[in-house]
Amino acid sequence: MRPRQLASVVLLALAPSLVLADRRLDEVEEGIEAGDCEIEAGFERSRVRGRMRQRENAVTLACGIGWGSELTLAAGRERAGTQRVDVRALELKLPLLPRRERAVGWALEAALADERSAGRSWRRNEYALLLEATVTPRPDWLAEVKLGWARELHPRADRTVFALGVEHALSETWEARAELEGDDREPASAALELRWIFVEDFYVTLGFGKRLGGDRERLWGLTLGIEF
């Protein structure tokens, strides 16, 4: 993943691995309540044959702010050799139609991201607007589709972005997720993730992914999280 692509990853997912799966599956009827928060720390490593390894670290804080809405703050850093790019992002998620069991729920996500290269000041890098559709065919299953638009400011370019995901609660302490995400300018990425809730409200997620075209980039990531 090139340094400039980190902002797109933060905007689309706002986390390097399995995001809010337990809350989504548990809160089909009520949605996220005001004051419910989750914080995650993620570490990701990627490698393309013949190129330098790249490392990404990210911290994400997401909180319910009332009426089923959620505000997320994220900060990340990517390193590739001596190159470094810092990214910070803000996302607001607004429910349009609450999700009910076996009925589609709709939500709107708006996000923006800033970036800073080593030795430079922060600058606005990207805006994004996405429509999300989710459905829970059974209490232990969740499927979601995201489709939207993102505008990169340096250089000026528009992209159509998408994400497809399926989550399944294997047991009370184990969850799995399969995901495909990308845009109309870069090859899509596929990922498989496994989440272990080892203590109530504490969890760890391990994920493996691969970019589907071109250089066949491979990556793995680890996320630690807590809900409070």
pLDDT digit string (tens) for 171-206? Answer: 989 999 999 988 888 888 899 999 999 998 899 999
Average pLDDT over residues 202-212: 89
Write out pLDDT tens, residues 107-143: 999 998 888 887 788 888 888 999 999 998 888 899 9
pLDDT of residue 175: 94
Largest CA distance in the chain: 51
pLDDT of residue 52: 67
pTM of the model: 0.82
Q: Would you identify the CATH topology of the domain 5-227?
A: Porin (2.40.160)
CA atoms within 13 A on the CB side of 85: 20
Poorest-confidence range of 2-16, 151-165, 195-209?
A: 2-16
pLDDT of residue 79: 82
Q: Which of 144, 86, 107, 110 lies closest to 11 in space, CA to CA?
A: 110
